[in-house]
Amino acid sequence: GNSVTQMEGPVTLSEEAFLTINCTYTATGYPSLFWYVQYPGEGLQLLLKATKADDKGSNKGFEATYRKETTSFHLEKGSVQVSDSAVYFCALYSGGSNYKLTFGKGTLLTVNP
Amino acid sequence: EAQVTQNPRYLITVTGKKLTVTCSQNMNHEYMSWYRQDPGLGLRQIYYSMNVEVTDKGDVPEGYKVSRKEKRNFPLILESPSPNQTSLYFCASGLTGLASYNEQFFGPGTRLTVL
């Protein structure tokens, strides 16, 4: 079946540090890939997505590239801010009538001033 | 504003007392779904609905019911809640079809505690 593995947290960084959160996946076919962000006390918001190999999703300074050869979709940001503190979820959709998103377990990021 | 709303946001109840968590979306989406989020497990799908009167089980449906009488609403019903249903619940909606790429929009969550 489908699965998503993302790096265990928590991740603690200082403001302006470089961020990488690793995400690898196992799926049939050609999945769509997503990063969702959950700020404290809020629901999940779509951060970025990529729908085919070599696509780069980007939003709010975050980027992730769909790498089919390594089945990866790592999230990066060049300079994090305190306001980026949140839980980040990698997710995929590989087709199927249930339209189910398969999520990783989430990575808690804390950015200190 | 396009959004998915859930009510209540927080609920503490006791074992066996029936409850309903409401979900409503204003984006005219065909697809709606319920997930539960538990520490270390990520999000798991409970039930989903492809359209009015069309619902089906997800990965963890035991102890839950749903209905879809109107396109915008998708309530989650716990007929006899138990402590293992203590969790954070999210409702989601989205378009269907190839062009949608299955981008889903999530509600703010309902934190349920069953004593």
B41-54: per-residue pLDDT in tens?
A: 888 999 999 889 99
Are B21 and B9 within 8 A, CB to CB? no
Query: Would you call A10 an interface residue with chain B, using a CB distance cutoff of 8 Å?
Result: no
Interface contact flag, A89 B42, Cβ < 8 Å: yes
How many CB atoms are located within 10 Å of the residue A53 CB?
12
C-alpha distances in Å from residue A64, one per residue of A15, A50, B106, B113 = 20, 8, 21, 36
Instruction: Return per-residue pLDDT of chain A as tens, 113 residues.
Output: 889 999 888 999 999 999 999 999 999 888 999 999 999 888 889 999 998 899 999 999 999 999 999 999 999 999 999 999 999 999 998 877 777 888 999 999 999 99
User: Which of B43, B49, B96 is the best mutation test for A, with the most CBs of A within 10 A?
Assistant: B43
Interface contact flag, A99 B106, Cβ < 8 Å: no
Are B77 and B66 within 8 A, CB to CB? yes
Residue B98, SS3?
A: helix
Residues of chain A in contact with residue B40, where contact means CB-CB under 8 angstroms, are 105
How many CB atoms are located within 10 Å of the residue B16 CB?
11
Strand ranges, E, within chain A: 3-6, 11-14, 19-21, 23-26, 32-38, 44-50, 56-59, 62-65, 75-77, 86-93, 102-103, 107-112
Mean pLDDT in residue range B46-68: 94
User: Which of B38, B55, B102, B104 is the best mutation test for A, with the most CBs of A within 10 A?
Assistant: B102
Residues of chain A in contact with residue B34, where contact means CB-CB under 8 angstroms, are none
Interface contact flag, B107 A43, Cβ < 8 Å: yes
Chain B CA closest to residue A37: B106
- Partner residues linked to B91 by β-bridges: B34
pLDDT band at B39 (very low <50, low <70, confident <90, very high): confident
Is-cis flag, bond preceding B8, omega within 30? yes
